[in-house]
Every structure is written in C-alpha cells, then in structure tokens.
C-alpha cells in the first residue's frame, strides 16, 4: 500500500476531532441538530486551518444515511465515500483554475438537478475569491434563490476580494490561526499513534514552523521524520528548519547587554556555521523582547517560560527593550536589501550593541574589561542649550534604518546623566507639598505618567497623607492595573511633584468620592451635554426637526476644544 502523508491520513473526520475552531463547530452543530440550515456558508482564514475539512464534514453531516445531524456515523457508504473523495453529490471546485463564467454556468445548470444519492447536493468552491467578475455575477442569482436541495460552501483566504453582494448572501465564519500549544497537542497525539520517537522541544520547533497552520506543521513533520531517519531530535529539526537553539538567542542578548563585542562576534561566527535562516533568528529575538517587556509591565504574565525573562527584565530598561525589538523587526525586513543575509543579521546585532544607551554609574552590571567603552568623553560635553536636544533610544527606534545608522552613540549619551568625576551641582529642592483629594486628582491630571502607569493612577482614590505615607484606595475591579512598574513610575512622579520622598500605600477598597478617571469622565459627559444643547438650540436644527422630522442622534455631537 502506498504511503499516505500525515496531513491527509490525520485529516479530521468528525467535528469533535477539529482543533481550535470551536466557535465554528458550535454554530454548525446547532444548525444541523435544529434543522435551521442556511443555503450558503463562507469559511475564511489562512491556509491549513481547516476550511475545506470543515466543509467536507458538513457535507457528510447533511447526507449521512442515519440522518442529518452534527454527528455523522462515519461508517455508512455515504460517509465512507465522502472521506474517500468519491461522493457524487459533493462537487469540489477549485476556483483558482476554474475562474471563468463558463465554469460557473455549468455549475449552475447542474445545481437544478436532484442529488443522485444523498439528500443534498453540496458545492464546495475553494479559493472563491479567484472567480472573475462575470463568474460572480453568474453565481449571484443562484445564491439568491437556490434550489432547496443545494447547499453552497465557499472557502477563501482573502475575503476582502469578494463582492459585497456575495458576502451578504452567505453566513460567514472566520477560522482562527492555531496557537503553538494547539499544534503541539495535535502533533504529540499523531506521533504517539505513529510510534515515532521524539523529544518535546522538537515538537515545539515543528509547531513554531507551522506558523499557525496545522497542515503546514504536519508537512514539516513528514519532512522531519524523513530527515531524522524515523525519529525526531530537536537539534536535527533545527538544522532542517534553519533555526537555532533559543539558548543561542539568549547568548546574543547577554553579550549585547554586557557590551562584549568580541563575544558577540564569536557567537555570530558560531551560528553562521549552521547556515541558519536569519529571518527566523531575528523573529526569535523579537519574541524574546516581547516576553521581556510583558514581564516588566506585568510581572509573572509572560507565558513563554523558554526565555529567561525575569533576569533580562531586571538588566534592561523598558526603553532599551523597545529599541531592541524595533531594531530586530526592522533588520528582518531589510535582510533582502543586505549584501548577504549574514551581513544583514550581523549588522542588526551590531546596531543593538552600538545604540544601547550608556548606563549611568552603578546602574548596570560590570562590563567586560576587554571591550568596555568610556561613557563620557575626556572633556565635558557642551551644555544642553549649545548642543540641542539629545537623541533618545525611542527616537532611534522610530528612525528609518539609514538614519539610525548615522545617529552617533555619543548623542544617546547626551540624553543620559553625566558620569564624570566632577561633583554634580546641588539640586534645587522643590517646596514640599501635602495632598488632599483635589490636589491628588490635579497631580494625576498634570503628571507626565503614560500608559499603564497613568491608567493605574487615574483609578486610585485619595485616602490620606500624613507626610510620610500617602494612602490610596483601588477598587477590586481594577486590581489588574497594580504592578511594580506602575507603582515605581507613580513613586518617581510623586517625588518630583511633592518635593519629598513619601511611601505609597495602596489598599483594595471602594473609592470614596472621585478619582481622576471618574472626574474626567463626568467633565467629558457635561461638555458633551452642553454641546448637544447648543446644537439643539440652533435655529436651523430646530427648523429641520419641525419641518422634516429630523432628530439628533445620541452621542453624535462632540465638543470642540
């Protein structure tokens, strides 16, 4: 018997075997069990997520000899013929190769005849967006008034190309890309059934290579089994896919953070011996930056334990993580423009090494003696008024790649605290301030807090300020806003505004009175009501209401600042 590829051998034959499309299965199952079956369905989604598989199971459910239901028997002659691809009343049409109006006219003429064996004729049109405009026009009338014995199942990877007249006549289901965990579960199950020796990391490499498509992952699995001589080993799978161990990405990052150019060059040379796919390496680098940033903003929330996120979350500033992420994705995009992929990859890592902000004294781990660079020039830099604004890490991250290369690292250092041996001038102490409820809300409104830190502060209620401790309350419904990053940002902003270092005590309790968020919402509501009143009093609007029955739509009027 000839070998059958895994993607075909393990194609789901029942709705219960489908992975990751529960929202579609639920809707179709209810329709089949209740008998409320629409005549046209549109399944959208990327390749390999189950569009045609769902359509075939649906056709089997409609025509099973034991009756229409969401659970076809799978053993009757009709179910067997559908699984084997020889059921006469299931007509599969590849719109990519049958795009013309003549092909569609033949389909329409055939649809008028009763099914040969089953209860319904089922037309499965794959990649339906490839049909020509005239073919769509020919199909439209049949979709609008179909025969009672015909059902149309359309599948496409690009629904934006479908005419709205077709979309309006179909029930549309968007199939999701599968997660790595869902693909790992399915691949593990298949390997156990096939009795293939494997290790967990090799399965995860296959799942990542599938990029959300189970069919692509199973094709890679076929290839990996052949490559490994009947077993899967993570190192061999990485060689086949052109990827590298995640530990190597961690080593790259460690060398960059330590400012060790020699170690970074050695690691790049070592990686190049395996001829990796440099685009996937930079993808992995960006994934690591994402996990580290999530850990910094929401401690403990990083879901991928394969990265040492806690360590690097402490060693890197959040702004530097954003810079490295931007450089990684920009470098990946520009690999095709580089003289060679290795040069493009190497230059991307060297940019990270060159553009990371020079830390102030004591802020970062000690750099290697062989490669440490001075953080300040022998002579003092010019005063801010003479040199203009410094270039920040965020500014470089947003630059086009050619401009970022030209930005000198010295410009980054200008934006950092001076680290010369000369004593810094004494700071001018701001007058100390004690807060009350109104002063607290004014502070939040006028502060420079951004993002999660501002959202956290805006929902805090003022309780008291005894000079040493500022007591605040946070409703239990907003507990998710509290994290170390937001608290630290709030503490820094308070120290500047109040001119003193006060301890912040946040207790979970109902807020008495207003918060900055509720006051802002009330002010906005009042301004909108005033704007609506102005519009309603306008003579032209009143005449339109009186003579033409016009009305002012709620929430359609916005105040102008």
Residue 407 is predicted with a pLDDT of 46
Residue in 26, 30, 50, 51 with CA at minimum distance from that of residue 41: 51
pLDDT at 302 (0 to 100): 64
Do residues 551 and 475 make contact, with C-beta atoms less than 8 angstroms apart?
A: no
Residue ranges per structural domain of the chain: 6-174, 180-241, 249-355, 437-514, 526-561
- What pLDDT, on the 0 to 100 scale, is given for residue 374? 37
Write the class of the CATH domain 6-174: alpha beta
Query: CATH code for 180-241?
Result: 1.10.8.60
| CB burial readout 411-423, b (16+ within 10 A) else e | bbbbbbeeeeeee
Those residues with Cβ within 8 angstroms of residue 445's Cβ, 6 or more apart along the chain or in another chain: 516, 520
DSSP state of 106: H
Q: Residue 347: which of 334, 363, 356 has the closest Cα? A: 334
- Check if the beta carbon of residue 497 is closer than 8 Å to that of residue 447: yes
- pLDDT recorded at residue 426: 42
Positions in the chain whose pLDDT score sits under 50: 360-398, 400-401, 403-430
CATH topology identical between 6-174 and 180-241: no
pLDDT at 432: 64
Alpha helices in 40-111 (DSSP H): 51-63, 77-84, 101-111
At the fourth CATH level, the homologous superfamily of domain 437-514 is DNA polymerase III, tau subunit, domain V (3.30.300.150)
| Alpha carbon 45 to chain centroid, angstroms | 16
Cα distance from N-terminal residue to C-terminal residue, the chain: 76
Q: Which CATH number fits domain 249-355: 1.10.510.10, 1.20.272.10, 3.40.50.2000, 3.40.50.970?
A: 1.20.272.10
């Amino acid at each position: 018997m000839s070998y059958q590829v895994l993607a075909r051998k393990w194609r789901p034959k029942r709705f219960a075997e489908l992975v990751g499309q529960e929202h579609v299965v639920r809707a179709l199952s209810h329709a089949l069990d209740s008998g409320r079956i629409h005549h046209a369905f549109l399944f959208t989604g990327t390749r390999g997520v189950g569009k045609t598989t769902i359509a075939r199971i649906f056709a089997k459910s409609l025509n099973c000899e034991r009756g229409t239901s969401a659970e076809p028997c799978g053993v009757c002659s009709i179910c067997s013929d559908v699984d084997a691809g020889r059921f006469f009343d299931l007509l599969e049409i590849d719109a990519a190769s049958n795009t013309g109006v003549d092909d569609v006219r033949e389909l329409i003429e055939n649809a008028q005849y009763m099914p040969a064996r089953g209860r319904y004729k089922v037309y499965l049109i794959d990649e339906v967006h490839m049909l020509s405009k005239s073919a769509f026009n020919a199909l439209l009338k049949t979709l609008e008034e179909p025969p009672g014995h015909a059902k149309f199942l359309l599948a496409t990877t690009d629904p934006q190309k479908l005419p709205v007249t077709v979309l309006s006549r179909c029930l549309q289901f968007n199939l999701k890309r599968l997660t790595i965990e869902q693909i790992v579960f399915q691949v593990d199950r298949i390997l156990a059934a096939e009795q293939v020796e494997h290790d967990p990391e090799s399965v995860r490499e296959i799942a990542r290579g599938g990029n959300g498509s189970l069919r692509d992952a199973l094709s890679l699995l076929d290839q990996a089994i052949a490559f490994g001589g009947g077993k899967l080993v993570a190192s061999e799978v990485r060689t086949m896919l052109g990827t590298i161990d995640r530990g190597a990405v961690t080593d790259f990052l460690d060398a960059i953070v330590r400012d060790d150019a020699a170690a970074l060059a050695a690691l790049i040379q070592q990686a190049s011996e395996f001829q990796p796919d440099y685009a996937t390496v930079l993808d992995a680098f960006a994934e690591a930056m994402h996990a580290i940033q999530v850990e910094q903003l929401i401690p403990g929330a990083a879901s991928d334990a394969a990265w040492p996120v806690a360590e690097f979350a402490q060693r890197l500033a959040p702004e530097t993580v954003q810079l490295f992420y931007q450089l990684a994705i920009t470098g990946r995009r520009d690999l095709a423009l580089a003289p060679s992929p290795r040069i493009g990859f190497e230059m991307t890592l060297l940019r990270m090494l060159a553009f990371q902000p020079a830390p102030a004294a004591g802020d970062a781990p000690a750099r290697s003696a062989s490669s440490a660079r001075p953080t300040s020039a022998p002579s003092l830099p010019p005063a801010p008024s003479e040199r203009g604004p410094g270039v920040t890490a965020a500014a470089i991250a947003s630059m086009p790649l050619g401009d970022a290369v030209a930005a000198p690292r010295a410009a980054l250092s200008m934006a950092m605290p001076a680290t010369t041996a000369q004593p810094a001038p004494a700071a001018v102490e701001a007058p100390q301030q004690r807060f009350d409820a109104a002063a607290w809300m004014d502070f939040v409104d006028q502060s420079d807090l951004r993002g999660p830190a501002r959202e956290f502060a805006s929902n805090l209620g003022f309780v008291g300020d005894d000079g040493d401790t500022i007591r605040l309350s946070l409703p239990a419904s907003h507990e998710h806003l509290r994290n170390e990053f937001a608290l630290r940002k709030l503490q820094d902003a308070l120290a500047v505004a109040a001119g003193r270092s006060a301890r912040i005590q946040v207790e979970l309790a109902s807020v008495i009175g207003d918060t900055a968020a509720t006051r802002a919402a009330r002010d906005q509501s009042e301004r909108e009501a005033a704007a609506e009143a102005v519009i309603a009093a306008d003579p032209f609007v009143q005449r339109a209401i009186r003579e033409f029955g016009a009305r002012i739509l709620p929430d359609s009027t916005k105040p102008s600042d």
